[in-house]
Amino acid sequence: MKNSVFLTVLLLLPFSLFSQTKIDYNNFNVDTATKVFAKVFLEFRDTAVHFASGVPHVVPYPVLSESPELRRPRWSDFLYEQVSLPNCKELYKYGNHVFHVDREEWYKTNINTIRQEYYKGIKNVPQCQLENARLIYSENAFSTSKKFDTYEELASFIIMSWENSITHKCAQRGILYDSFSYKEYGLKIQDIFSCCVVYNPLNGHTKAVINFIE
């Protein structure tokens, strides 16, 4: 009986728990670390069904009951190349220090391109939205000297560390779809995101960021 119960538990656990990717800190792979982090974050979003306050998302946003895919933001190569990777490269230079790279000028200069990226592939978006949508840029950043056996463990640790900070918790548990476009036009549009994870062997620190356009 005990063996049967154990087998049932195993079958219910996510497959990713059994396909862990080992970290070799002498050959830290940024692409792998970033892809795993993005995957683990999206899995987290499937289970993060409450705001940081504890209120269920579906109370003010009932559409999430019928369209749970709206919990998951869309990956953006543009945002990764323009923001997440450069931000991590900047944080890479500083020991255990972590901060937010100033992106105000980048946002102002590129707002039209940002709107194009946000609505890319979405049909029937009104021209007024394409030209004037008020999009918000945000970021969570992270630094640690702790070492992990796998990239999955590292990714989970980053997310759970943010869960212990109310500001970061609010960001990663917030609504990540275009609620205005759904309310006004019936359009179901997921927000966009990107992330990056780097390791500096000279100071032994791992840095990570996740960025949102919402």
- Domain assignment present for residue 50? The answer is no
- Domain assignment present for residue 121? The answer is yes
Q: What is the pLDDT of residue 101?
A: 97
Q: What is the pLDDT of residue 18?
A: 52
Distance CA 136, CA 104 (A): 11
- Domain assignment present for residue 4? The answer is no
In the chain the first and final C-alpha atoms are separated, in Å, by 49
- Domain assignment present for residue 31? The answer is no
Q: How many contiguous H segments (helices) and E segments (strands) does the chain have?
A: 10, 4
Distance CA 177, CA 181 (A): 9
Using pLDDT thresholds of 50, 70 and 90, give the confidence band for residue 9: very low
Put simply, whether the predicted model's pTM sits higher than 0.95 gets the answer no
Longest dimension (CA), the chain: 64
Mean pLDDT of the chain, nearest integer: 92
Torsion of CA 146, 193, 140, 111, to 10 degrees: 140
Q: What is the mean pLDDT of residues 196-206?
A: 97
- Domain assignment present for residue 53? The answer is no
Using pLDDT thresholds of 50, 70 and 90, give the confidence band for residue 6: very low
Using pLDDT thresholds of 50, 70 and 90, give the confidence band for residue 19: confident
- Domain assignment present for residue 18? The answer is no
- Domain assignment present for residue 34? The answer is no
pLDDT > 50? residue 37: yes
- Domain assignment present for residue 23? The answer is no
- Residue 135: CB atoms within 10 Å: 17
Q: What is the pLDDT of residue 36?
A: 98
Domain count, the chain: 1
Q: What is the pLDDT of residues 44-91, one digit of tens each?
A: 999 999 999 999 999 999 999 999 999 999 999 999 999 999 999 999
pLDDT > 60? residue 11: no
CA distances from 27 to 45, 99, 167 (A): 30, 25, 33
Using pLDDT thresholds of 50, 70 and 90, give the confidence band for residue 10: very low
Q: What is the pLDDT of residues 85-141, one digit of tens each?
A: 999 999 999 988 999 999 999 999 999 999 999 999 999 999 999 999 999 999 999
Residue range(s) defining the domain that contains residue 86: 68-214
